[in-house]
Amino acid sequence: MNISEPIRLLLFLAGIMAFVGFNAAYLVWVERKGAARFQRRPGPTEVGFAGLLQPIADALKLLSKQVIVPPTSDAILFRLAPVLVMSPALMCLAVIPFGETLVARNINIGLVMVFAFGSINVMAIMLGGWASRNKYAVISAARVVSQDVAYEIPMLLVVITLLMVTGTMDLNQIVRQQAGWFWHWNLFKLTANPLMPVTFVIFYICMLAETNRAPFDMAEAESELVAGAFTEYAGMGFGVFFMAEYANIVVGCSVATVLFLGGWQSPIGVWSGPWWFLLKMYFLVFSVIWIRWTFPRTQFYGLLNLSWKILIPVSLFTLVLSSIMLKLF
């Protein structure tokens, strides 16, 4: 093996960790300022210009707090859960192409790897809640599992539909197929499936549910379950869960950008590059924040009914329609 390859991977790993840390810190700032604007108040203003140093102050506060392990908890699993919840996001970002050559590890089944590691996140939250031996945390863990099962099905059906259209699991290849003007993006490939915009909406809704974002944040549900699965966590134990939530939002929006919005491809066919990827990805991230502060939290049974009664049948229909269109045309 070329000696430069391990060095390249280490550099990319360091870059990914810095990227995740930066996003976790300053997406919190964006969310707090955005929520303030939606609610007609200023938001953070005191620490640094426009509150820009507030995330650093919050991080220092969390680092200074003692990590307390409840005496009735399963100590090993309690400490392991924050590690497990953060690792999948780092592994997923390692195969996402931010540019034609800007990817830590380009493999031909990158899409499978993203969903394989993404499922560990739910397991980590479940372990954290169960290991806490707290009634609110255990209820939250049960909700996480049922929510994940319900929304992974339509998400995977949508992805299978897209795989039928693209014919590959290589994320780089999927982006290359969308080169040219914006109507070449998978979102607008109506000849392959006239309901392709519907598949994007289903994927987006499932992404919100999989990342436990409002209006689908039933796993946390502060008004009902205190802090959900994170009730017993303090200091950086809680901070890692918090960082992982924003890291998973970035992963979900990055996958949506690759699959539907052309990745790094320019909408006008020229000047393609990583800047287009970041612009599209951060637009989706902002929409996630916007939705949180616009829609109220849904009721738990409504959450499950949306998936089992609406999203799964519609995603199955789009899958069958795509197979018919590809067979005929």
Q: Does the global pTM surpass 0.85?
A: yes
Tokens of 163: 């795989």
Residue 116 near residue 70 (C-beta atoms within 8 A): no
Contacts (Cβ under 8 Å, ≥6 apart) of 176 = 100
In 3-state terms the chain splits into helix, strand, coil percentages (rounded to 5) of 70, 0, 30
Residue 175 near residue 258 (C-beta atoms within 8 A): yes
Q: How far apart are CA 109 and CA 93, in angstroms?
A: 14
Report pLDDT for 182: 92
Report pLDDT for 173: 94
Report pLDDT for 2: 57
Residue 229 near residue 140 (C-beta atoms within 8 A): yes
DSSP reduced 3-state for 203:
helix
Residue 96 near residue 250 (C-beta atoms within 8 A): no
Q: Domains of the chain: which residue ranges?
A: 4-328
- In the chain, what is the straight-line distance between the N-terminal and C-terminal CA atoms, in Å? 44
Report pLDDT for 3: 55
- Would you write out the chain's pLDDT as a tens digit for each of its 329 residues? 555 777 777 888 888 888 988 998 899 899 999 999 988 898 888 888 889 999 889 888 888 888 888 888 888 888 888 888 888 888 899 899 999 888 888 888 889 989 888 888 888 888 888 888 888 888 888 888 888 889 999 999 999 999 988 999 999 999 999 998 999 999 998 887 888 999 999 999 999 998 888 788 877 777 777 777 888 888 888 888 888 889 999 999 999 999 999 999 999 988 899 999 999 999 999 999 999 888 888 888 888 899 999 999 999 999 999 888 888 87
Q: How far apart are CA 135 and CA 249, in angstroms?
A: 27
Contacts (Cβ under 8 Å, ≥6 apart) of 194 = 321, 325
CA-CA-CA-CA torsion sign (282, 288, 292, 295): positive
Distances (CA, A) of 176 to 102, 269, 323: 14, 12, 22
